[in-house]
């Protein structure tokens, strides 16, 4: 018998499932791969989710759900459309929970765009010009200035793009990673199509629509 064999208990599997929502067999495999280390098992599951999501990214998402979330005593409201491939998945509790969590996140984090690709050229150039001027004012050489601008643009995307933002209920993952985890669990492509955020007293609401994804033939 190999001395490296690790016995994974049902209790460990149950704990990992409760923590991640992943299927039991995936939890057992993750714990086996991680030699019983719970944190490493979580990382393994997340990587698997991202891998599965990448494979399904071009599949058509023509079903889904529209949900709303009202926050702060009726002062903030969100409507969001999240798409999947089949009505069956759209009716699952896992999908409904994801849509609710995304709506709640939008209410709290106020993104302006769905993805990086959705940032308008005007907004992109405006921010880049501001960061370049700020960096140039420090007297640093041009090549250093450009690296500073690049770093600040990454931070800009994280602040204004839904998919790049850290999930409010778990700051260790982004919304894109949260969605990838659900794709891995439900076995279908999932994407946020659009959302609108309203706040009492604001001059204008935030309305974001994702550019059409490249769909599989």
169 and 76 share one domain: yes
214 and 136 share one domain: no
pLDDT in tens, the chain (217 residues): 343 567 889 888 888 877 766 667 778 888 998 889 988 888 887 777 655 556 665 666 779 999 999 987 899 999 999 999 999 999 999 999 999 999 999 999 999 999 999 999 999 999 888 988 888 888 888 888 888 888 888 899 999 999 999 999 999 899 999 998 898 888 889 999 999 999 998 877 799 999 865 433 3
pTM (2 d.p.): 0.71
Which of 9, 28, 56 is the last residue in one of the domains? 56
CATH code for position 152? 1.10.286
Report pLDDT for 49.
65
47 and 138 share one domain: no
110 and 172 share one domain: yes
> Which residues have a Cβ under 8 Å from the Cβ of 199 and sit 6 or more positions away?
75, 76, 77, 205
Distance from C-alpha of 140 to C-alpha of 160, rounded to nearest angstrom: 27
Q: E strands along 35-175, which residues? A: 63-71, 76-84, 166-167, 170-174
Report pLDDT for 137.
87
Report pLDDT for 4.
53
27 and 128 share one domain: no
106 and 125 share one domain: no
Distance from C-alpha of 194 to C-alpha of 215, rounded to nearest angstrom: 17
Report pLDDT for 51.
55
Q: E strands along 53-179, which residues? A: 63-71, 76-84, 166-167, 170-174
Query: Domain of 133?
Result: 120-157
110 and 169 share one domain: yes
Per the structure, how many domains does the chain have? 3
CATH code for position 106? 3.30.479.20
107 and 41 share one domain: no
Distance from C-alpha of 57 to C-alpha of 64, rounded to nearest angstrom: 15
What's the pLDDT tens digit per position in 138-178? 888 888 888 888 888 889 999 999 999 999 999 989 999 99
35 and 67 share one domain: no
Report pLDDT for 144.
85
CATH code for position 31? 1.10.8.10
């Amino acid at each position: 018998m190999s001395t490296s064999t690790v016995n994974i208990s049902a209790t460990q599997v149950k704990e990992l499932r409760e923590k991640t929502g992943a299927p039991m067999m995936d939890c057992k495999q993750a714990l086996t791969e991680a030699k019983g280390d719970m944190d490493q098992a979580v990382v393994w599951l997340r990587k698997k989710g991202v891998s599965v999501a990448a494979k399904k990214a071009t599949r058509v998402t023509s079903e889904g759900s529209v949900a709303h979330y009202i926050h702060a005593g009726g002062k903030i409201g969100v409507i969001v459309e999240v798409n999947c491939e089949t009505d069956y998945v759209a009716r699952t509790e896992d999908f409904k929970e994801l849509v609710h969590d995304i709506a709640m996140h939008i209410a709290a984090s106020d993104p302006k765009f769905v993805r990086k690709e959705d940032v308008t050229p005007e907004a992109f150039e405006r921010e880049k010009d501001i960061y370049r001027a700020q960096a140039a004012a420090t007297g640093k050489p041009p090549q250093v200035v450009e690296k500073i601008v690049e770093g600040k643009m990454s931070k800009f995307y994280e602040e204004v793009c839904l998919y790049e933002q850290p999930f409010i209920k778990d700051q260790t993952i982004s919304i894109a990673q949260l969605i990838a985890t659900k794709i891995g669990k439900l076995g279908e492509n999932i994407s946020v199509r659009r959302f609108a955020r309203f706040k009492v007293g604001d001059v204008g609401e935030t309305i974001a629509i994702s550019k059409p994804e490249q769909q599989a033939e």
